[in-house]
Amino acid sequence: MRIDYASSAMDAQDFANLFENSPKAPGQQAQKFNRLMIQGLAENGAVVRAVTARPVTGTNCPSKFLSANSVQRGKVRYHYCSVLNVKGIKILWQTISAFVTVVFGGCDAVVTDVLNASVAYGAVTAARLRKKPCIGIVTDLPELMVTGTNQNHVKLVRKIMQKCTGYVLLTEAMNEPVNPEHKPYVIVEALCDSTIKPQPEVKAQTSCTKKCMYAGLLDARYGVKAMVDGFVLANVPDLELHIYGNGPYVDELQKVTQEHPNVIYHGIAMNDEVVQAEIEADLLINPRPTHEEFTKYSFPSKNMEYMASGTPVLTTNLPGMPEEYKQYVYLIEDESAEGIARAIKTTFDTVRSERDRKGHSAQEFVLNEKNNLFQSKRVLSMLEAK
């Protein structure tokens, strides 16, 4: 089966080459999810062409025009559509580029990231014109996204979803608002990279200083302020909190780092650096509050990346997280700063070897049951059933 996969996903090295010196590099979680799905489809025998609208803006790339080019990366051909990096024109240009690429490409099916509305609209329109199936990957409900959306974007994404013939959803709760016509769908909470090398069951201890870590959007609505305040309140000896990412909480965070040297802010980093830091940490924290409506419609890819590292994970009891995951993580039951402080203390009161075993078990679980080869095969089966 020949699949055109329309998104902003770039080959990892191509992405690093384009953005490694940019002070405002694009978010990398969507990159990683789509890239792993693309690679999984190809490894399962599909002939995959990634039709990519490179995620450049006026703030992360000085070039006004990037020409189209195609490169082969392993089993995947990446076709980078041309970019006219001019506000007010860029989106229409990306839509037309994706449409032309797909409509004349001869594919058997289209898969697209619906939240990347410009390239998705071009691709799904081409698929409908050619009477080919189009699977929409829906990683968030557009009206509930914290950043990067407006009413016009919401309307366009909704229109794209209506045009799709099937869906990849993150949680079962998504099906009702996304799929009122009861089209085929599969649930893929997140993807674990099948090439990850398992960590030892018990890690060697190289330092008396222990490290907690958070990587992601720095927004109080995501529980980051409560996590930082809770860490300071916990006051665990020889414990540091390392934070990676960007967002509206940065200014306040930098003030905290001046008062508390054991809170360390690293700014934005490439995903490879973040993953290595996760492997070397002693505890990975996801403080996302559970009372926000969007949490029942999402499964944070951060949790999958955390679990895949082999480092133990402390997370809130998110409604979008299936029960099967919960035995592999430590849970924050009280999401206040005081509750997070207690959870951090309780976790570090656990014997280190037991914490390591918890992290190792989590890694085994996601590597064996949630890897991108297994998950993408389910998507391919849905396409082949049409």
List pLDDT tens digits, range 6-25. Answer: 999 999 999 999 988 787 77
Locus of tokens 């980093």: 269
Per-residue pLDDT tens over the stretch 48-57: 999 999 999 9
Closest Cα to residue 88, out of 13, 152, 7?
152
Give mean pLDDT, residues 331-356. 96
Same CATH topology for 2-191+371-384 and 210-369: the answer is yes
Least Cα distance to 228 among 263, 255, 261 occurs for 263
Please tell me the distance from the alpha carbon of residue 264 to that of residue 244, in angstroms, as a whole number.
9
For residues 219 and 146, the answer to whether their CB atoms sit within 8 Å is yes
pLDDT at 198: 85
Place of tokens 């024109």: 89
The whole-angstrom separation of Cα 309 and Cα 297 is: 24
Mean pLDDT of 214-223: 93
pTM: 0.88
* Whole-angstrom distance, CA of residue 371 vs CA of residue 106: 29
User: Which H or E run includes 369?
Assistant: helix 352-369
Q: What is the mean pLDDT of the chain?
A: 93
Q: Which residue, among 161, 146, 279, has the nearest Cα to 220 in the 3D structure?
A: 146
Judged against a pLDDT cut of 90, whether residue 206 lies above it is answered with no
What is the Cα gyration radius of the chain? 21
**Residue 146: pLDDT over 90:** no
The number of residues in the chain equals 386
Tokens for 107? 């594919």
pLDDT confidence bin for 160, thresholds 50/70/90: very high
Q: What angle do CA 12, 16, 21 make, to 5 degrees?
A: 165
Encode pLDDT of 52-73 as tens digits: 999 999 888 889 999 999 999 9
69-87: average pLDDT = 95
Q: Which fold has domain 210-369?
A: Rossmann fold (3.40.50)
The answer, yes or no, to whether residue 149 has pLDDT greater than 80, is: no
Are 80 and 66 within 8 A, CB to CB?
yes
Q: Answer with the residue of higher pLDDT: 200 or 211.
A: 211
Mean pLDDT of 134-152: 83
Mean pLDDT of 329-340: 97
Quote the pLDDT of residue 150.
80
Distance CA 226, CA 230 (A): 6
pLDDT at 147 over 70: no
- Name the band, by pLDDT with cuts 50, 70 and 90, for residue 95: very high
Summarised one tens digit per residue, pLDDT across range 110-120 is 999 999 999 99
Instruction: Give the confidence band of 286 by pLDDT, cuts at 50, 70, 90.
Output: very high
Mean pLDDT for 285-308 is: 87
Q: Where are the domains of the chain?
A: 2-191+371-384, 210-369
Q: From edge to edge, which strands make up the β-sheet containing 166-169?
A: 69-73, 76-80, 47-52, 2-7, 109-113, 134-138, 166-169, 185-187
Question: What pLDDT was estimated at residue 351?
Answer: 92
As a whole number of angstroms, the distance between CA 199 and CA 162 comes to 43
H and E: helices and strands count for the chain:
14, 16
DSSP string, 300-355: -HHHHHHHHTTS-EEEE--TTS-HHHHTTSEEES--SHHHHHHHHHHHHHS-HHHH
- For residue 47, count other CB atoms closer than 10 A to its CB: 15
Q: What CATH architecture applies to the domain 2-191+371-384?
A: 3-Layer(aba) Sandwich (3.40)
| pLDDT tens digits, 291-300 | 877 777 878 7
The Cα 329–Cα 315 span in angstroms is 7
